[in-house]
Amino acid sequence: MDILLKVFLPLSLAVIMFSLGLGLAVSDFFRVVTRPLAFFGGALGQMVLLPLVAFGLVHAFGLTGELAVGLMILSVCPGGVTSNILSKLANGDVALSVTLTGVISLLSIITVPLVTAFSVTWFMGEAAPEVDVTKLAIAMFAITAVPVLIGVLIRRFAEGLALKIEPWMERLALILFVIVVAGALAANWQTFVDNLPVLGPALVVLNIVLLLAGGMLANLLGLDGEEQKTVAIETGIQNATLGITVGSLILPGTVGLNAYSLPSGVYGITMYLVTIPFVLWVARRM
């Protein structure tokens, strides 16, 4: 189990973020300026709407302690490569999806440590472990920003190589993610079963509400159909691997999947039960 969390988990996350970087051209970052309304809608959904909905659902479902913190950590994780793939399947605006994922992933270096520190204090009170925001931010930079930037540089100076290896890196990232989630849940099966009756419905509702709310927000902003689908998916999809990793960084000495990581581990499964039908639905309707 230790090798899963200490080797496969950071490796999986690094591969995912590197794969994301391979799909990013330097011009993608300028889309923030050239298409400000579409980017604003997606960023507002991910960075403001998502944590607020998660905070409300934590209280609505009576989650406390580490599980509440774990859900809040998940709420500030960016979409990852999965959201880009699902945007493509939904006939959405893939370029916008890639831009949102890339920019929000880099901003998560700041947002994730701050929300994690706040959540630990808010939900755990005197029982809260000490969270070093600076140390967590440095770790976030190393495991997210660095692989993304390496991928972007390879795309910039060796585009042919980047386009050739990108599909293989995406497949490898998926395989590693499945190994991590399956292994972590298997090793903590009783904890998973004990918390599933409350945690499962909360995560499913979170997913459904955010997919619909993201689409409604994009509609209110007057975005076109492709942009609406993309903003909905970017708002409703989170990088579960990053959530598991951040949870493990809070208590690095623990063995197995701790309670901070459990919501992200469960979400890694329930996410597909909700999003695949949603993607198939919007692909046909819009």
Question: Could you tell me the residue ranges of all domains in the chain?
Answer: 2-285
Please choose, from the candidates 254, 203, 215, the residue with its C-alpha nearest in 3D space to the C-alpha of residue 41: 215
Q: Is the dihedral of CA 193, 199, 205, 207 positive or negative?
A: negative
The pLDDT, as a whole number, for residue 269 is: 82
pLDDT single digits (tens) 143-195: 888 888 899 899 989 988 988 898 888 788 778 767 766 776 676 677 777 77
Which residue do the tokens 């904890």 mark? 191
pTM flag (> 0.85): yes
Return the closest-CA partner of residue 4 out of 261, 211, 228.
261
Q: Does 6 have pLDDT greater than 70?
A: no
Sorting pLDDT into bands at 50, 70 and 90, what band is 110? very high
Write down the CATH number for the domain with range 2-285: 1.20.1530.20
- Mean residue pLDDT across the chain: 86
Nearest to 199 by CA among 268, 263, 276: 263
Residues 118, 54, 192: CA angle, nearest 5 degrees: 95
Helix (H, G, I), strand (E, B) or coil at 22: helix
Local structure of residue 4 (DSSP, 8 states): I
Cβ partners under 8 Å of residue 186, min gap 6? none
What is the Cα gyration radius of the chain?
A: 18
pLDDT of residue 139: 85
Query: What residue spans of 125-260 are helical by DSSP H?
Result: 133-140, 146-157, 159-187, 189-220, 225-236, 240-250
Contact 9, 133 (CB under 8 A): no
Q: What is the rounded CA–CA span in Å between residue 234 and residue 204? A: 16
